[in-house]
Structure 1
Amino acid sequence: MTPEIEDAFAAIRSEHGADSISRVERMLEPGGGGPRHPLQKGAKWILPGLSPTPWHDPYAYPELAPVVEALESAHPAVKEELNSAWAARREAFSDYEHYLTRQEDWQALYLYRRGNLVEESADTVPTAYKVLKEFAVDTETICPLLESHFSTLLPGASIAPHCDLWNFSINLHLAVDIPDGCSITVAGRIRSWQEGRCLLFDYSFEHEARNEGSQPRTCLLVDLWHPETTLPERRALVSLVTEIRRLMGE
């Protein structure tokens, strides 16, 4: 660890207790904090002690349920504003750049990125922006290391099987506009989105998606803290990843 990370960790231990970030420290040890599920082998970091569950009930966690309820309630307005933006402000969308690849047939409209709300989206998709700000950003349930965006898969597009970087955040999908022929697979289990409802899954497990329909498929994706992480762990993880990204010139 760098001196900056060591200092940040020491400050957290001083405030919250000697064992408050022990799981984060174990994660950084050789072996990555212990055994992991075979379908998490592609993830960079696995924080030990989190439930190794690919699919989660979106309403199971008191911290996350208000986000889910607000997004689902707002779905009609969110869909209308998204479709208007897709028709009239296509320049607001861009090719999605995953840490593994970039895809022209996977379009993104960002609401939150690099630790901040994307203010331009407040005019483009005001309902989604307002709900995200009030229920995820202001409550600090969103993971500031990641993002929130409308994810549009064009007809015939697919996302190849992959694991994301870690398990200490979790991915929420609001199914905004779902034509026939669309599905997602997480840890070998295939599911379809139900328009107006949310799915929640641990994307450190291998997952993939496809649009075999004739119309674009759009979900609103929100990267939230895994509900089994603690406040001191979240602080330590932000310090850790932020410093690593700084050293890598990101």
Structure 2
Amino acid sequence: MSSTPDFPALARRALAALRDGRATEARALLEQVTGAGHGDASVWVAQAYACKATGDADAALAAADAALRLDPGNARALLIKGDHFRALGDRRSAVAFFHTAIRHAPGNAAPDLQAALVQAREYVKQLTGGFDAYLAETIPEPSSRFRQSVDLMTGKARLYLQEPRFYYFPGLPQIQFASREDTPFLDQLEAAANDVRDELLVVMAEPGLFTPYVELRENRPNHAQAGMLENPEWSAFYLIKDGEPVHDNLARFPRTMAALKDAPLTDIAGRGPSILFSRLAPGAHIPPHSGLVNTRLICHLPVICPEGCAFRVGSETRDWAYGQAWAFDDTVNHEAWNRSGEERVVLIFDVWKPEITKAERAEIRALFAAVEAYGEGPTTWGV
């Protein structure tokens, strides 16, 4: 009576033969294993490699398909499929498999797999560049939103959505930076940039007026905030904080406040607006995070901004430039850094999103008034 083959042992012998370059022997052993209905996705991938090495492309493809039926995210099998379609000249199918392989590849991939992934990325990059050039001829002046849609489609950009940590108001556009058409009040602010800077420089000459932006609160749980809690490298000087004027500070910035007279500031008792100067020390990095409520835009006016200071919101990164303001949705993942040897200071304030109607603003104010009256929920919102 014949004994049952030791299929795990056969697989180990096959893999050793494959590593030693004995592809024909490896294939024969692996076909015994898979032919008997044994073996996981890695065994089928090894069989695909062995078939490929012996010049049997059809068998290699069939083995890769078998591996993907067991493990649809197997990076090696996906790369084999991508190579197959590349050889056929089917670039779209090849890129689809290469993209998926890159996305599913383990972080500690073996050197040979890493090398194959590098080749796949290069192929995708070349095709994307060629497509960009072709598309530019077809659509020479695309809108910014259309351009972003293409970047998302081709994998050049990642999709980021609103992720408020406290309150989500549905039905609002998923934007990163707001358009200037929706923020016309920024024109008046930019025109007053020199006035804002002059008032700020007087304050900057006095030490100790800026305090850490992320403050310790005794009546709420505190988290390390990736090293930002009570960290003086990211500090603030408030004119208005959570809707409450800081009168001594506010009195020193009459021209700054005059420049904000037409801004639709978020008027919510005990919560908004906040108007402040944000200071980022040389070499400091504000780690990726998202804000608490998606009903507002956060506005920046760079006042002191050496080269090497930048800001990322979602998939878009911008350099701060003196006097050039913008508004963004802070519930989209964002971060900032100062890679210069000087301080960076930005005027920050929050405004209602233009899509929020007057009636909805009143409802939102009433909601948070009810939160306070009922005695539940946080007493402030802040990062």
TM-score (structure 1 length as normaliser): 0.74
Distance 1:49 1:83, change over 3 A: same
User: 2:164–2:294: 8 Å Cα contact kept in structure 1?
Assistant: no
Counterpart for residue 60 of structure 1: 181
Q: 2:242 aligns with which of 110, 114, 133?
A: 114
Task: Find 1:216's aligned residue among 335, 340, 343.
Answer: 343
In structure 2, the residue matched to 1:18 is none
- Structure 1: gaps spanning 5 or more residues: 1-36
Alpha-carbon distance between aligned partners in 1 of 2:378 and 2:348, rounded to the nearest angstrom: 26
Tell me how far apart the structure 2 counterparts of residues 157 and 240 of structure 1 sit (CA, whole Å).
37
- Which protein, 1 or 2, shows the higher relative CO under an 8 Å CA cutoff with sep ≥ 6? 1
Percent of aligned positions that are identical: 29
Query: Offset of 1:97 from its aligned partner?
Result: 2.3
Residues 123-148 of structure 1: CA deviation (Å, up to 9, x unaligned): 3333213333x223xxxx11133311
Structure 2, unmatched stretches of 5+, are: 1-158, 216-221
TM alignment of 1:1-40, pairs within 5 A: 39-40=161-162
Aligned-partner residue type, residue 247 of structure 1: E
SS of 2:233's equivalent in the other structure is strand
Of 70, 79, 82 in structure 1, the residue corresponding to residue 197 of structure 2 is 79
Equivalent pair of 1:42/1:206 in contact (CA under 8 Å): no
1:153 aligns with 2:280: yes
- Kept in 2, the 8 Å contact 1:111–1:129? The answer is no
The residue identity in structure 2 corresponding to 1:154 is A
Partner of residue 296, structure 2: 169
- For the aligned residue pairs, the C-alpha RMSD in angstroms reads 2.1
Question: Which residue matches 1:247?
Answer: 376
Quick check: 160-169 or 79-88, which moved more?
79-88
User: Shift of the alpha carbon at 1:186?
Assistant: 0.4
**Which residue, out of 92, 109, 115, partners 2:209?**
92
Q: Offset at 1:169? A: 0.4
Equivalent residue number for residue 193 of structure 1: 320
Number of matched residues? 204
Q: What secondary structure sits across from 2:201 in the alignment?
A: helix
Provide Cα deviations, 1:57-81, integer angstroms capped at 9, x if missing partner.
2x212xx413x12211111121122
Shift of 1:87: 1.1
Q: 2:211 is matched by which residue type in structure 1?
A: S
Q: Is structure 2 residue 255 aligned with structure 1 residue 124?
A: no
Partner of 1:142: 265
- Give the letter for the 1:85 counterpart: V
Q: Is the 8 A contact 1:85 1:125 kept in 2?
A: no
What SS class does the counterpart of residue 92 from structure 1 fall into? coil
C-alpha displacement at 1:42, in angstroms?
A: 5.3
Looking at CA atoms only, which structure, 1 or 2, has the larger radius of gyration?
A: 2
Contact 2:240 2:250 in 1 (8 A): no
1:169-201 Cα offsets, whole Å, 9 max, x none, are 001101111011100010121111121110111
Q: CA deviation at 1:157?
A: 1.1
Residue of 171, 174, 179 corresponding to 1:49: 171
Kept in 1, the 8 Å contact 2:160–2:333? The answer is no
One-letter amino acid of the counterpart of residue 93, structure 1: F
Counterpart of 2:208 in 1: which secondary structure? helix
Q: Give the Cα separation in 2 of the matches to 1:112 and 1:236.
A: 23
Q: Which has the higher strand share?
A: 1
Q: For each residue in 1:193-232, what CA deviation from the matched residue of structure 2 results, as whole angstroms up to 9, or x when unmatched? A: 1211101111110000011111110110110000110111
**1:52–1:249 CA distance, 2 compared to 1 (3 A):** closer
The residue matched to 1:60 in structure 2 has which SS?
Answer: helix
Tell me what 2:140 maps to: none
